[in-house]
Structures are given as structure tokens and as C-alpha cells.
Structure 1
Amino acid sequence: MKRLFWLISLNVVYSTAELAIGLFTGRVGLVSDAFHLTFGCSLLTFSLFAMAASREKPDRFYTYGYKRLEVLSAFTNALFLLFMSFSIAVEALHAFIQDESEHKHYLIVSAVTNLAVNLIGVWFFRNYARINLVYRKVEDMNYHSVCLHVLADSIRSAGLILASWLLSLGVQNAEVLCMGLVSATVFMLIMPLFKASGGILLQMAPPSISNSALSKCWRQITAREEVSEISQARFWEVIPGHVVGSLTIRVKDGMNEHSVLQFVHSLYHDLGIQDLTVQTDES
């Protein structure tokens, strides 16, 4: 958390300085980039808030606790980066339509400085600098989103620097090529996180448990002589690594439902489902 706090502070100082210089010199590009950084800082601040709030214990209003805030934070970061990827693609299209000789070279100084700031952030969270990361804890997902955030910003700045250098060499459509490449890279970089965090928020079936394993449990339960029917079987992740589920079992009249419940809980617990709610009805 301390490293994230210092990264946010560094970005706030830099974006404030860039905004002041942009307003003083009348450079619209600097002002626009400063607002982009400010919005990014607000998302990183939300990540920091989620990390702090997730430590609160469950209460009567939030019985599962506040850890899912970190999933929401990761999803928000991913959504912002997808939007950034789209905006860069639009920027590349605009550069293709417009005369590239109007490229504003004063933005390169800003891009170099921004790259240096973001590389510090990448170094802070280098352990999470992977595309497909296994989330053993909910904190892993949030830190991964922070790392991808600063990494995507670094790639964007590097793309601007490369485009400017190629333009100075006289390469045609250099900005279109570089910005298009940056857009595609950021999109591919962030999609796994977007799918993982979105899947948890939409209560998808847990990817850590295969459908064949769940079907096998279903067959084993229905094979018992006490059970006549299973229905409304639902399984999802509250946070990464915490799988919950619920199902309804219809037990035949006169049969011992206690032994059935014990068998069902044991079966699904072995699959990694920590919390299971089973409702029994008599047929």
C-alpha cells in the first residue's frame, strides 16, 4: 500500500505541474494529457481505498466483508484501460486522416517524463507484471490491475516517443503505425483481467472447478437411493479463491436426510467449495 501511495503522490505532482505549464503556455495537448493523468490517479486512488477498506471485518450489512471492493477496483481499472485502447485507436485514425507534419513535438518531453514516472510504478509492482496471473488472493487481482495500469501508460508514452523519432527520420504514417500497435498491445494486455474480474462480478461458474467435476458430483448425488432429484445448483466465486454454492435436493419420504447432507458437503468441499448451502425437500 505504501508503494501505491507514493506512486499516486508522484503522479499527482507531475500532472499538476503539467497542467500548470499547459495553461501558462497555452498548450492544449499538455492540458489534455494532464487531465488524462488526473483521471488515472483517481482510479489508482480507488485501488488504494479498496485495499484499505477490504481489511474491514464482515458486519451485518456486508456479511461477506469488503474484499470484493478489490475485484470492483480491478474491473474499473480494466474498463478504463480498454477505453484508453479505443481512444488510442481513434487517435491513430485521426493521425491517418490529418497531416502528420502537424505532430506536436513538445509532447515528447511530456511523454519521456511520463514514461520515467510510470517505469517507477512498473518496478514497484514488477511481481505482477504478467498477462495471465493466477489470483490466489483478492489482493493479487487488485495489484495486478495497478501494475497493468502503469504498464499500459508506459507503453502509450513509449509509442509516442517512437512515433516522433520515426517521423523525424521521414517514415510515412509512423504515428498511425505506432499508435495502432500500442492500441492492440494494451487491448491484449488487459483483456484477461477484464474477463476474470468481470466474471467474478457477474457470478460466473468458478474457472478453478471444471464443469466435468461438477457434473460428476451431480451424478454421485443422484445415484444415492435417498435422493430423487437435484435442482437449482449454482456455484460462483465471491472473490478469487473463495467459492460458494447452493443447491436444492429432494429426498425420498422416510429417508435419512442427515446422511445425504453430510455426503454432499464432503463431496463439494473436496472440490474446493468452502461455503455450500443445501436445501432439502421431501418428495
Structure 2
Amino acid sequence: MAHNHSEKDTNRSRLLAAFTVTAIFMVAEVAGGLLSGSLALLADAGHMLTDAAALLLALLATQFSRRKPTAQHSFGLLRLTTLAAFINAIALLAITVLIVWEALERFWQPRPVAGGMMLIIAIGGLLANLLSFWLLRNGSEEKNLNVRAAALHVLGDLLGSVGAIVAALIIMLTGWTPIDPLLSVLVSLLVLRSGWALMKESGRELLEGAPRDINVDKLQRALVRTIPEVRHIHHVHLWQVGEKPVIMLHAQVIPPRDHDALVQRIHDYLQEHYGIGHATVQLEYQRCDEEGCDLHWIQGGGEHHHHHH
């Protein structure tokens, strides 16, 4: 376990470092946007807020996943990060609406923008993003969804900073200020995309949706095909808590010689092929006559003969 813990700690410290860098620069961009009059900088700050939030969520997730489950919260507090992600997503969508609204106003009534100041802050933002991305990229290579999501966030944000730099250069060279609201709308679309994806993903988890990468029908058929005693799988409930998939299912089986061993084989199969470590399996010896039970009856086939030794 020692190795695993140190790995989690490096993940945590890298996330913390990236979060600090991002948060500091977000504040700098808000200040710079207000002082220079640049909407593109404010939009990019909005984008950085999404990064900071994503990093904070990832941090909280590593923190909560360490908490031991209690009687009240039998899964620990892993859902809290999902709830936070959902709230973050709604905030992002709100920010996008505000920025696009402001941009439309500025098309009609252009405002002066201090290009030089805008350029300096935009370059600073770009460097901050590169630093965060580097920190996250070098995090442990385990497939930590949170760290990966955070790195993607930061990568998307690089585009925002590049946009702000381009806008600043155009304003300095040509004095054409409408480029600023134009680019702020583009950056907002980036924010909108990540916000929408986050909302769908977290909403799905909050509504007890099945994990995206597990096909329940295939899982049912695979169990019937692979384990000869299993005739039929029904009443499958699959959902996820944090990043952990959880399943409940009824298996109609040929009465086994060793009940516990069969349950164990089903558990092992689910763990090995689907990464489901938390399964509740109920064995039944009678054919299930309820609604929706005869779906996979045929595949189990009645051809398995039971030999008594």
C-alpha cells in the first residue's frame, strides 16, 4: 500500500500546485480585464475559473476518497465531488451567458481597450496554463479521471489565452477593438463545451445512470455464456459512486454443488472484465416469471445437463 499512498500524495501535491497557479492567474486576469477594458481577458478568466474549479474538484475527490465510509454514508463522501461538479457546470453555463451578452453589447458600442496591458496579462495567463499543464501531465500515470479531466481543462484554456494574445496584438497594431468581444465569444464557446460535458457527466451520475463504458446487455449475455451454471441474469441495477461502479443482479442458476464458489466466480468475472469490485449477487434456482425476466432465457439454453458425482 505504501507505494499507492505516495502516488496519491504526488497526485495531490501536483493538483494543489496547479490549482494555486491557476487561481492566482484567474484573479490577475479578472483585474487585468477590468483595468484594460478587455472582455476577452474576462472570458479567459471565466475559463480559468472552470480550470480552478476542475482542479479543486479533483483535489476534493482525492481527499474524500480517503475518508472511511460511515453508517450514514456507506459509500463515504464520493458523491460530494459529483454534486460539486454539477454545480460547477451550472456556474459555467451562467458565466458563458453573461459574457456573450456583454460581447453583444460591445459590438454595438465598442469600448476602448488597453492593448499593451491586455497583451502582458494574456501572455502571463498562457505561461500559467503551460505550467499547470506540465504539472498535471507529470502526475502519476494511473488513470485518474479527475487528474485527466483537469489536464484537459487546462489544455482547452491554453486556446483561450492564445486568443486573448491575438486579440491584444490586433488591437495594438490596428486599433480594431471589436476583435475583443469577438474572441471573447469564441472563448465562451470553449467554456460552454466543457460546462455542458461536465453537466451531462455529473447529472448522469447523480441520476444513478449506468457508467458509460459498461453495456448491461452485453454483461448479461457474457455471464450466461461464460459461466455454465448461469442460465439467466435479470433485475440488473448498475450505477456508479465517484468512479466506482456498483452492481446488483439476480442470477437464475442450475443448483450448484458449491453455492459460495459460484457466487465467487460471478464476482471474479465482474471484477476482472468490468472492473466492478462492488457487486451484490442473488442466486435463484427457480425460473423467474416476472416481467422482463425472459429476455435472455434462450441464450442460457437448456442444454447444460447437471451431473451429480
Is the TM value for this pair above 0.5? Answer: yes
Compared CA separation, residues 28 and 231, structure 1 to 2 (3 A)? same
1:235 correspondence with 2:238 = yes
Deviations 1:198-227 (A, max 9, x none): 433332222222244134147669x97x97
Give the share of equivalent positions with the same residue, in percent.
29
Note the 1:7-156 alignment, pairs <5 A: 7-11=18-22, 44-72=55-83, 74-96=85-107, 98-105=108-115, 106-126=117-137, 137=143, 140-156=144-160
Give 1:55 shift. 1.9
Tell me the equivalent position of 1:245. Answer: 247
Note the 1:148-187 alignment, pairs <5 A: 148-167=152-171, 168-169=173-174, 173-187=178-192
Compared CA separation, residues 263 and 109, structure 1 to 2 (3 A)? closer
Compared CA separation, residues 215 and 87, structure 1 to 2 (3 A)? farther
The question of whether the paired residues in 2 share the 8 Å contact of 1:246 and 1:277 is answered with yes
Compared CA separation, residues 151 and 83, structure 1 to 2 (3 A)? farther
* Aligned-partner Cα distance in 2 for 1:76–1:144: 20
The aligned amino acid for 2:237 is R
Give 1:191 shift. 4.8
TM score, norm. by length of structure 1: 0.66
The question of whether the paired residues in 2 share the 8 Å contact of 1:89 and 1:179 is answered with yes
What is the aligned length?
A: 268
- Unaligned stretches of 5+ in structure 1? 129-134
Give 1:245 shift. 1.0
The aligned amino acid for 1:181 is L
Deviations 1:168-187 (A, max 9, x none): 42558423442232233343
Give 1:143 shift. 1.6
SS at match of 1:246: strand
* Aligned-partner Cα distance in 2 for 1:9–1:205: 34
Give 1:234 shift. 0.9
Out of 271, 274, 278, the position equivalent to 2:281 is 278
The aligned amino acid for 2:160 is R
What is the CA RMSD across the aligned residues, in angstroms? 4.7
Deviations 1:147-167 (A, max 9, x none): 344444443333233223334
Compared CA separation, residues 13 and 195, structure 1 to 2 (3 A)? closer
Give 1:136 shift. 6.5
SS at match of 1:237: strand
SS at match of 2:131: helix
Tell me the equivalent position of 1:213. Answer: 218
Tell me the equivalent position of 1:132. Answer: none
The question of whether the paired residues in 2 share the 8 Å contact of 1:88 and 1:182 is answered with no
SS at match of 2:208: coil
Give 1:126 shift. 3.1
The question of whether the paired residues in 2 share the 8 Å contact of 1:54 and 1:70 is answered with no
The aligned amino acid for 1:238 is V
* Aligned-partner Cα distance in 2 for 1:46–1:201: 15
- Unaligned stretches of 5+ in structure 2? 1-11, 287-309
* Aligned-partner Cα distance in 2 for 1:183–1:26: 19
1:6 correspondence with 2:50 = no
Give 1:246 shift. 1.0
* Aligned-partner Cα distance in 2 for 1:28–1:35: 11
The aligned amino acid for 2:163 is G
Q: Which has the higher contact order (CA 8 A, sep 6+)?
A: 2
The aligned amino acid for 2:248 is S
* Aligned-partner Cα distance in 2 for 1:179–1:13: 21
Give 1:28 shift. 11
* Aligned-partner Cα distance in 1 for 2:150–2:189: 19
* Aligned-partner Cα distance in 2 for 1:236–1:70: 16
SS at match of 1:123: helix
The question of whether the paired residues in 1 share the 8 Å contact of 2:32 and 2:121 is answered with no
